[in-house]
Amino acid sequence: MLSLDLLFCYMLIILIVLQNLAVAYPRKIFRYDPKEAGAFEGDIILPPSTRGVGEAAQEARWTNGIVPYVIKSGDFNAEQEAVIVKSMRRLEQTVAINNKLCIQFRPKISTDKHFTTIKTGAGCTSSVGQNWYSTKELTLGNGCIHEGTIMHELLHTLVSLMHSFVTGFWHEQSRPDRDNYVTVQYANVLPGLEHAFNKYTTSVDTLGTPYDYESLMHYGSHDFSSNGKPTIVPKNSTAKIGQGHSLSRIDILEVQLYYQCIGPVSGRLIPLYRYTRGYYDHLYTTNGQEIGTTTHGAIGRYGYKYQGVVGQIYDSVGPQPSFTLPFYRYLNILNGQHLYTSNWREIGTNRTGVVIKNWMYEENVGYLYPMSQPNTYPLYHYYHVNQSAHFYTTSSQEIGTTTPGAIGKVGYQYEGIAGYIL
């Protein structure tokens, strides 16, 4: 018979082991197996010519956006295969423009020279691009059969290795500009897995898109943690990373840009008016009748004073140019402040009148670009922590800083670029 003291010791050891396993891989997705030879950043299998180089290889877009695949016989049951195919269909429809497919996954036929084999194995990994072997492999091991995980790995297969990496299909937190947006806490990373947080060189092609905290390709805050503490800390204190379940708006745009999908090319430009009720209360609208005046310095409804036109955005009614995003407006029902964002997930709704955490969705003000375009200007976003106030301007001199997290005039902290307007 075991003594109670000895039994207690055994139980304590088991609890400690289980706790260590939990903090090492806090997310449901086990995306890396240290035994997986050649894995780069945990779940990417590089061609031999580029392993450890981080440089260019050959053109690797899938011809006409078509990715032939084979699901290895006997590796998955019917339910698992259904999830894999459902994930493909979801990815196709998510990046489609006006129901026209931008990319397509279909079963391999005899004439396909290049294709991807989907199989089971250790961890969740994927080969990149089309042109370094005729056969590419996408491995889905235990814990990998989830739509978000599968779409993450499928995005890796879409990448090109032309003359530089394309970050939209690699990992967001490894962009060359990542240190402006996140801090990697290497002291908390599992020993031997530091390479999972490698940073790309400036030769990377970001497709002109901004850093995307919401990307499906962004690690979570505790991924690969050795001690339960964060491995990645956003410099924007309100940002959430590692959502892991769906493509962000920027993810979608990057696929559309890279595969040169064609959408509407025209739209009606309208002015974006700015009003104020003091340093910490600003209203932006494309409807001059909402406040009732567009006379500089005049005071209209609700005590708002007209300040001028910030720039032009595209009308929310009618067609919009390709690769533009909606500019949503929310009202804080407690203090009357307004928030504007191109990502409705930041609040959690884009349904008129719905309130989440005191923010009520009001409208889509119009459409702007998420990346720089000819003749566009950045719309800088600032936030005042004490006043819970948001401020937007095309003139960085108004607040005096564009350093992420830095505090400028009248206490406003720089958050980033909300978008680009004309």
Q: 258-312 pLDDT, tens per residue?
A: 888 866 567 889 999 999 988 788 889 999 899 999 999 999 999 999 999 999 9
C-alpha to C-alpha distance for 68 and 48, rounded to whole angstroms: 22
3 within some domain: no
Do residue 234 and residue 367 come from a single domain? Answer: no
Q: pTM for this one?
A: 0.64
Residue at 168 is within a domain: yes
pLDDT of residue 135: 65
The domain of 356 spans: 269-421
175 shares its domain with 63: yes
3-class DSSP state of 31: coil
User: What is the reported pLDDT for 134?
Assistant: 53
Domain match, 276 and 128 both: no
The answer to the question of residue 10 being in a domain is no
Is residue 8 one of the residues assigned to a domain? no
- 83 phi/psi in degrees, rounded to 5: -65, -40
Give yes or no: residues 232 and 367 share one domain: no
More confident residue, 230 or 44: 230
- Lowest mean per-residue pLDDT among 97-111, 130-144, 155-169, 325-339: 155-169
What is residue 86's predicted lDDT score, i.e. its pLDDT?
Answer: 97
In the block, tokens 């959690």 appear at 348
**Alpha-carbon distance values, 162 to 55, 85, 153, 344 (Å):** 9, 28, 19, 34
Shared domain for 92 and 60, answered yes or no, is: yes
CA-to-CA distance for 276 and 406, rounded, in angstroms? 23
Helix axes 78-95, 147-157, angle to 10 degrees: 60
**End position of a domain, from candidates 192, 226, 258:** 258
- Identify the three-state secondary structure at position 95: helix
237 and 366 co-located in one domain: no
Integer Cα distance of 383 and 416 in angstroms: 10
Residue 249 shares a structural domain with residue 275 = no
pLDDT of residue 85: 97
pLDDT in tens, 137-194: 889 998 899 999 999 989 888 864 333 344 446 788 888 888 888 999 999 999 998 8
Residues noted as catalytic: 153
Q: For position 324, what pLDDT does the model report?
A: 85
In this structure, what CATH number is given to the domain that contains residue 227?
Answer: 3.40.390.10
